[in-house]
Structure 1
């Protein structure tokens, strides 16, 4: 199975901006979890409602900390601002 061009474009963006390897791994983890949570829809076809629903899921169902939610949100901001250009 080949690698997703979308995921590779995120990886390239993070490396261009010299993010640490651990940050890259974390951001890619949250983006993939977000995509799977939304039935494998492309993030370009989703927006604020889906992001809010995912973050609420993290807080309520997975009981992650506020810092973890913030990290996921930062990953989404990076993707939507620099990869999808929204």
Structure 2
């Protein structure tokens, strides 16, 4: 009997996990949200990351979210209902 493992070419496997925004897009698509909703979520997530000096959201907590939303309320004069 022929050894099958020898006939299968070696395939380079990407061992790095998908980037954060790619994970966000995949999650939104799995939930079948509208494309415009996906674009808005990615836009706000990118802004949040940049606001905090390119820190990964996994390293941040409620205090950073509060600071981000307070910035819009106090500095940008955005209504609190818009945050929802």
TM-score where L is the length of structure 2: 0.75
Match of 1:55 among 49, 65, 69: 69
Rg larger for: 2
**Counterparts of 1:15 and 1:67 in 2: how far apart (Å)?**
26
Q: Which runs of 5+ in 1 are unaligned?
A: 71-86
Tell me how large the CA RMSD over aligned residues is. Answer: 1.2
Higher relative contact order (CA 8 A, sep 6+): 1
**Counterparts of 2:66 and 2:83 in 1: how far apart (Å)?**
10
TM superposition outliers: structure 1 runs of 4+ over 4 Å: none
Q: How does 1:1-86 map to 2 (within 5 A)?
A: 5-70=19-84
TM-score where L is the length of structure 1: 0.73
More helix by share: 1
Count of paired positions: 67
Q: Which runs of 5+ in 2 are unaligned?
A: 1-17
